[in-house]
Structure 1
């Protein structure tokens, strides 16, 4: 009888004890491998709890752009982020662009000198489920020149990158610019075959401080027409460098990355 009572009390305490909340996101740096030219291929691996998502470099009107800080690293000359194809999410009529479940973000790392690279990342990003939260994640890895075997997870992320202009058979990008209230109106006519499903587009100015609005797109045969407005974030006047404009066309299963106007 006493044993039964103790077991019952133990079960009641266990049921009443608070369950530790699962972190919405965790991060690690995958150390990857050294490339023949001396650069190193690593990756930031973000794992998201069920129902959570995080955002691409251009997150859309409902997203939060990630910010990267590598200043704690040693023997580091520079990094290049090689983003895999993101997904488009719609909520309450607003579009956001990002990833769910996980993101393996390949990083091409350039060393300042010979030897190991002590890579340290601090990333400020947004994660969303029913609510959106700002998160800061930190990760560290030592990148050794003796590591030469490719990481299959990083290789798969590299393979899922958007198609280039040539790979997608883009034959022309014609851009026209006109004055608009508070900035410039941009119209781009992109000659390319459809990439399947509901197409969406992202326009990035490629210039610090110049913001691009959500584009409107439509098709006229093999031509995808994208129209948007460009504004300076401080309300200043600006000159637009058309060679730095970046258009990403997103479909159901693939994407195309197009740099500059013809």
Structure 2
């Protein structure tokens, strides 16, 4: 989908949100996009959410969508009193289209976002420039500039429901083998007593491309294999503790932080 990547770096008029006011014109496939006001957590953190409503049949992407998808990008530089942001990704769907499998969301995405204030006794002012893609038969790049309205006093049931859909974090560390290939690394992970129609393999490094894992099931062992390639086009050091592996099923998902390297 090289043409899609080209469109994303082209000049795109930003949609603006100011106190919840939506622009009069939206690109094809997009019904609405906004930051929901959310509420303040007992520890002083602010919980908001990105809400994206799409036309029927349209989709948007998860943080690690696969070979052809484009994950959302967030720029929080316009915010005030913001120390850090944690995004709580709900379990994605496995979407098949044109012979490709991607991970994303149909129709509507509510993406919970937890903001940590720099000064705990002061409110966080959240403002973001967000780039994301939406697709049906064609793919449309979208850039929006959004500001979160003042927080509500009570939790938002829609955001709470999205939080309940985040993958369960497992304390297990699957075994894995890391092999050098001509242009990078190949990681093979084994999950005992697990089955899943899809596995995501990630590294917290935007400069490393990860292929869509190849899956095989032999008895009680699920094997996932993916290539990791960085900008050098050569093998590179990889810390197995920084790998994130997610088993994704139709009704649940399980996330594993790190794996146990094994040697032949």
- The question of a shared fold, defined as TM-score above 0.5 by the shorter chain, is answered with yes
Q: Deviations over 1:96-152 (max 9, x none)?
A: 1101111110011001112222111211111101101111122211445xx441110
Q: Deviations over 1:10-40 (max 9, x none)?
A: xxxxxxxxxx887522211112111111111
- 1:44 correspondence with 2:50: yes
CA contact (8 A) 1:176 1:186 kept: yes
CA contact (8 A) 1:22 1:49 kept: no
- 1:178 correspondence with 2:179: yes
Q: What 5-or-longer segments of structure 1 have no aligned partner?
A: 1-19
Q: Could you list the structure 1 runs, at least 4 aligned residues long, displaced by more than 3 angstroms after superposition.
A: 20-23
CA contact (8 A) 2:111 2:162 kept: yes
Give the match for residue 257 of structure 1.
Answer: 255
2: distance between equivalents of 1:57 and 1:200? 15
CA contact (8 A) 2:193 2:221 kept: yes
2:238 to 226, 237, 240: 240
1: distance between equivalents of 2:179 and 2:27? 50
Q: Which shows bigger deviation, 21-30 or 243-252?
A: 21-30
2:159 to 148, 151, 154: 154
2:215 to 217, 237, 249: 217
CA contact (8 A) 1:172 1:191 kept: no
2:107 to 93, 96, 101: 101
Between 1 and 2, higher relative CO (CA 8 Å, sep ≥ 6) is seen in: 2
1: distance between equivalents of 2:122 and 2:253? 37
Q: Structure 2 vs 1, CA of residues 220 and 237 (structure 1 numbering), >3 Å: closer, same or farther?
A: closer
Query: Could you tell me how far 1:207 is from its partner in structure 2?
Result: 2.8
2:37 to 8, 22, 31: 31
Give the match for residue 77 of structure 1.
Answer: 83
- 1:140 correspondence with 2:117: no
2: distance between equivalents of 1:237 and 1:214? 19
Q: Which shows bigger deviation, 24-33 or 75-84?
A: 24-33
Task: Report the count of equivalent residues.
Answer: 234
Q: What 5-or-longer segments of structure 2 have no aligned partner?
A: 1-24
2: distance between equivalents of 1:224 and 1:150? 39
> TM (normalized to structure 1)?
0.83
Give the match for residue 9 of structure 1.
Answer: none
Q: 5 Å matches for 1:102-117?
A: 102-113=108-119, 114-117=121-124
